[in-house]
Structure 1
């Protein structure tokens, strides 16, 4: 029996070796159009970054060693250009360019996939690369070793793109990631991706989300990337990681059936529409076990499994069925690990499949054992029977073993109850007595059984403030470090005594740090006569992570990468370890230590709670202590603070730059007054001073998005929307507007004289670090929703503004 195999990486090489192991008599010819076979393509980014030092380690087998060991005719630099199914032959172009035919009894296609290169102007310019094989790796590695790569742009925020971002950063480059979608890492949901966004920015990676590339151009200093919104970014190297598409042209030309996802269609035995031709790997499409719909799965694990199955079927006949892959994936992103299996909630929603979800924030192992690091787990399940549909985990340690547990349950059609029945090995260094996987199952069971009525972060974000009573059940100190707008504070431990303070007959939403205390509070309320009580899933930790706008990316420095510096603690500094403690534990430790210190003493405290740095900074501002610096590494967050002298009125702490900031209140939406505000703000920011603009009433129109999502409004909100300018481009002059002609003339003159437009001045203010605060009361009165405002805008009230004025020596009302 003669077997021909097209493609010598992963699936092809594995199948060839398996056929030989079960048949010494078989004639096996392996064609690979490239120079290498059986290489570790998942390790390519790490070789570029220097993590894998030796190139040879990527080459699992050479053509010679593979051919010798398995008695296989390996033909590299040989491209199969045509298949004749009727004659059972293939046409091959050899290394010397000559063409010949080869016959077969059974043929296996493992052609893989190719990187997407959209037909954008300039995309073939020097310095723009894709990463798919060893040859690509060698070209990129040579560019990095040349020493010319100081600024790198990754187009595409998928697994390979982010792995390249990390490794180019390790190689000394400043890195930016450009992604058309609102998030990186498409297999996970937005709320989980936001955790990754924050981590990338902590590591200095600039994120350009919802940004499309329109063209590239070569310049004297490198490559200029042109965005569809008019912005540009210059780099020394560009890596295209937009995605891949299956290589199906050979199959299509041979009249083999191509499926709706444009992959080679195979049956349960991995056979194509021709009985003598099989296919495996990235090029095939096969029904997803959860949805039953065909899908493409670009993962090495399933490809190798398919290869083993198909080898047996080609030799012994179609006896082994392929069960399908659910898409279990994992990636290392700097210190963080991101993993997913099954389907994300957004994919289920797009497919019209009903689902529920549960999000928890456990530690990797027992909190009392050192280095218990945080993780976030989200499980998605069917609302009727609890069948597990998908899961995502983001964390620093123990992510891999948890995602594998969950994947096994999904592949076997299990439910959330099966999560609680897994018997894990337990010792404090490795897990907790209640493993995070089991906890996820318990929470999901509570939702499924009705013991807990959930509300999700997006529901709460889109709800109206008067739809319910919002109760924060955390401690008063936690509440003071930052609460959701409109929330009242009734701590869990005093809730039974304060039931009379809760309005009767209204829906109630409770929340805490991560969801546990909210669940306990909801039980108390429901058993005391409050019927409509919902608990915020994942607590304020999930809500803030998902809803906090990301800061605008800073421009490249165009110099050697500046390493982040950390202020070293003084010799007399007190050190506190708060690792493994969940909120409010680290803040409590901080307060207890500071209460024992004298003014001027310094405290260094290390925690594993990602929100600790933000909470500590807010705590210092509200207590009059000094926040000096922060740093993060390997899932640990370290801050340096000093004991201050709080003001008698309990105001904000004194800092070295107190009284040197500038604040502006923009009350007007006149074009000329708004222009003046941003000109002054940019001028102040250019001197290095802290600048805040507080947008109130009509001034809100200056920070509205030009493309706004649909939002629900009451009658008055709709009336205001009809009467007010839709965005900054609709603003009028305060004088000589002449029914709009004046504002158009003003903009024309500014453009003619090369003066930045209002929108350009506004963007410059964002780039310069000017803080935009929208007045919550004005938004409520005028019916303006948060979703209508620019992403970098934060919401605040009079107390927030007064806090800024305490540190300013100039306050202007415009």
Structure 2
């Protein structure tokens, strides 16, 4: 029987429904109303057009009114807004925006696909801002692209760290804009748990995006060019992107008496029919699909709302099937999603740990780090997977993955497993495609299943990154089974280091009873598992593996908020070699370097690339050129200092996408060094003390040396960091111990006490009064003057990590480095002091 079907809204849901309806019936009359001009466009591609990644605007238009009307014999009326629904008489009222005409249109079946709109919260001064944009459709895109092309903004603030916010931040950065992203949450990308999001946050800051998390904009001033945050921090900007989130376009449905959920989404049955708000009766002629509706969570059949393209497309097809008499059911949404964040891929499916905690569900979580393909095949990079599951039944609740190429494939596999009703114990049985360029014989998805199965089988249990510090602080025994080199490069406070290869012969060093718990960590978890098996065979049964190892712990625990990042490495960065001479002959590094030895360290994490570098250089002959390639973002900085300290020459560092290439010449005689020559006229000072009088001595000596024409470096470590602290700083996220350090230590030079006769601060005050009478500069003035005279102040990054001090807490104009940088500076100094 011929039916008249009216569709409200196009794009993913409405356009899909219209096309499917026509494929199922040539006789039905199909009318589609669209409030805007464009009925079907690639809304997920809009940020990439703004970023000039997609250069042809026409490619964003999936279907035009003319093209779709002709192909599917549809009556498409754009610029037409449906303003009301008469359920009793099966009519809608339509307003034509071009003509101003209002008319009624009857229907047999009505499909609502209104979508969602950007959230614009009330903020002081927002209505007067001239540079604020949101992104939902083609007109929004044209406005933002036009503004960037015409105004050429140098700075932008993106408010919101979801998909749109993160993608806009990246694409504006591609256009050369200095981007700051602000989000009230303590992390970006809500589908991910904190430790996974931390990896993405590092990627953004490493590419020059400044993150201000746990804060929000409360006021716009100067027509949107000056922002004030809740914390009191102020930002100047050329443009603002509002990407706080979306809310359903539900006015039409509510006015028609259709039921909506607690967050305003249209309630639907599993046949996607709407429900009467008064009597909960199903409205047999009105369907709703897309971002505006409430759906069932596939994991536990609870109510939820997920605004993604796949559900909207699927719902559009199912509604058309149901209208044409097919017995269908929309079984729910998993929320599988993926995003590109600079050189990383971030994908997730199902419920995350935060959601399960909120639902009070019993669960276990594991982390695995694996290569995206065989490590011996060039170009391997790391993938981190987090899997959450029911420890009793093995049911998979969800998964998240962050990494390089192929990351989303692993989440697709796990999403398929969830929908197929497989458990974690089934994952190792999945026979997945393998060839060295694409995977490993044991795919990361298999490995996640193996690890989860070990927990299910009671082989061992896990402890997590956010638990281990408290465990150790309360007397727990932590065994770090990495190599001494890895341990020295960084470890969890209180850990005991026995390498796994030595463990069998050093069990006597474990000074606890065998029935006491032992917590074991390595870099990623594998060696810890091997150590656990050794311990179990020797009578230790109460053993725990630190899930994800030190790698996950470090990603989650190091400061991520409001962090000024290291300079962004350009696409091709050459080390400056001008003015360097060897003997009587001035030499230069050639533009084109031919390597003698090539080492592929891609896919290895710190300290893997440096260790491979050490082995290659050690085996090479003097004068050989070694090319080392790595996907570890810290390698470019580490290799510079390593060469400087080992007497080798770093010729050049290049970056191509996520691969860093370092050209190293063994020895220094065959080719000029790229570093400054040693000068005995330089001075380095290690400021260890946090006392005012000792800090004053360091500043006075530093200024005196600088006045004599010397290059002066003051390396502030441990308590000496207090000299560099701000009295006021933005709010930063810290754990309990870090908060204690922050409260107990003086905030800046003005709060520091003296080393003798401090008398609870009275001694320092008396000394300041005497200094004022004697016209002696205060410590604050000495510090400012030292900076003005070119004294180089370096904050020890290791001490910062230990004491929980972030870069936002320290003054501007200083450098950040580790002991390698200090040793390099001291090698070039005639005077070295420890204060």
So what's the TM-score if we normalise by structure 1?
A: 0.84
1:184-218 deviation digits (Å, cap 9, x = unpaired): 11111111112212222232222222231122234
Which residue pairs with 2:582 in the alignment?
A: none
Q: Is the 8 A contact 1:336 1:634 kept in 2?
A: no
The 1:707–1:35 alpha-carbon spacing in structure 2 relative to 1, beyond 3 Å, is closer
Q: Is the 8 A contact 2:387 2:398 kept in 1?
A: yes
Counterpart pick for 1:468 among 467, 476, 482: 476
Distance in 2, matches of 1:555 and 1:409, equals 39
Which residue pairs with 2:243 in the alignment?
A: 241
Which residue pairs with 2:320 in the alignment?
A: 311
Q: Is the 8 A contact 1:344 1:391 kept in 2?
A: yes
Q: Is the 8 A contact 1:363 1:580 kept in 2?
A: no
1:769-812 deviation digits (Å, cap 9, x = unpaired): 85256869xx9xxxxx956978779xx99989985984678888
Q: Is the 8 A contact 1:481 1:615 kept in 2?
A: no
Which residue pairs with 2:438 in the alignment?
A: 430
Q: Is the 8 A contact 2:169 2:209 kept in 1?
A: yes
Counterpart pick for 1:525 among 516, 519, 535: 535
Q: Greater shift after overlay, 693-702 or 349-358?
A: 693-702
Any idea what SS the aligned residue of 2:294 has?
A: strand
Counterpart pick for 2:574 among 567, 570, 577: 567
Counterpart pick for 1:213 among 212, 217, 225: 217
Q: How much has 1:171 moved relative to structure 2?
A: 2.5
How does 1:587-736 map onto structure 2 within 5 Å?
Answer: 587-596=610-619, 603-610=626-633, 612-613=635-636, 616=639, 630-641=653-664, 659=682, 663-668=686-691, 691-696=714-719, 731=751
1:367-423 deviation digits (Å, cap 9, x = unpaired): 122212221111111121111111111112112222111111112332112211222
The 1:507–1:267 alpha-carbon spacing in structure 2 relative to 1, beyond 3 Å, is same
Q: Greater shift after overlay, 615-624 or 514-523?
A: 615-624
Which residue pairs with 2:253 in the alignment?
A: 251
Q: Greater shift after overlay, 585-594 or 134-143?
A: 585-594
Which residue pairs with 1:201 in the alignment?
A: 205
1:75-131 deviation digits (Å, cap 9, x = unpaired): 100111111222322111113112112222211110000011121123342221111
Counterpart pick for 1:582 among 604, 616, 619: 604
1:415-434 deviation digits (Å, cap 9, x = unpaired): 11221122212111111111
Counterpart pick for 1:352 among 360, 364, 384: 360
Which residue pairs with 1:287 in the alignment?
A: 296
Residue segments in structure 1 that go unaligned for 5+ positions in a row: 647-652, 750-754, 780-784
Any idea what SS the aligned residue of 1:245 has?
A: strand
Counterpart pick for 1:514 among 517, 524, 538: 524
Which residue pairs with 1:260 in the alignment?
A: 262
Distance in 2, matches of 1:535 and 1:575, equals 38
Which residue pairs with 1:340 in the alignment?
A: 348
The 1:711–1:197 alpha-carbon spacing in structure 2 relative to 1, beyond 3 Å, is closer
Which residue pairs with 2:584 in the alignment?
A: none
Q: Is the 8 A contact 1:257 1:264 kept in 2?
A: yes
Distance in 1, matches of 2:284 and 2:678, equals 77
Residue segments in structure 2 that go unaligned for 5+ positions in a row: 276-282, 576-588, 773-777, 811-815
Distance in 2, matches of 1:133 and 1:666, equals 58
Any idea what SS the aligned residue of 2:345 has?
A: strand
Which residue pairs with 1:120 in the alignment?
A: 123
Which residue pairs with 1:537 in the alignment?
A: 547
The 1:660–1:572 alpha-carbon spacing in structure 2 relative to 1, beyond 3 Å, is farther
The 1:333–1:798 alpha-carbon spacing in structure 2 relative to 1, beyond 3 Å, is closer
Distance in 2, matches of 1:29 and 1:679, equals 82
Q: Greater shift after overlay, 204-213 or 581-590?
A: 581-590
Any idea what SS the aligned residue of 1:5 has?
A: strand
The 1:235–1:601 alpha-carbon spacing in structure 2 relative to 1, beyond 3 Å, is farther
Which residue pairs with 2:371 in the alignment?
A: 363
1:309-333 deviation digits (Å, cap 9, x = unpaired): 111222327x211101110001112
Any idea what SS the aligned residue of 1:276 has?
A: strand
Q: Greater shift after overlay, 234-243 or 724-733?
A: 724-733
The 1:484–1:408 alpha-carbon spacing in structure 2 relative to 1, beyond 3 Å, is same
The 1:324–1:459 alpha-carbon spacing in structure 2 relative to 1, beyond 3 Å, is same
Which residue pairs with 1:78 in the alignment?
A: 80
Any idea what SS the aligned residue of 1:463 has?
A: helix
Q: Is the 8 A contact 1:160 1:241 kept in 2?
A: yes
1:444-490 deviation digits (Å, cap 9, x = unpaired): 11122221221211111333346233322222333333333333332
The 1:57–1:565 alpha-carbon spacing in structure 2 relative to 1, beyond 3 Å, is closer
Q: How much has 1:283 moved relative to structure 2?
A: 0.2
Any idea what SS the aligned residue of 2:186 has?
A: coil
Distance in 2, matches of 1:739 and 1:728, equals 17
So what's the TM-score if we normalise by structure 2?
A: 0.82
The 1:710–1:169 alpha-carbon spacing in structure 2 relative to 1, beyond 3 Å, is closer
Q: How much has 1:708 moved relative to structure 2?
A: 8.6
The 1:527–1:208 alpha-carbon spacing in structure 2 relative to 1, beyond 3 Å, is same
Which residue pairs with 1:782 in the alignment?
A: none
Distance in 1, matches of 2:743 and 2:405, equals 54
Distance in 1, matches of 2:306 and 2:33, equals 23
Distance in 2, matches of 1:203 and 1:574, equals 32
Any idea what SS the aligned residue of 1:522 has?
A: helix
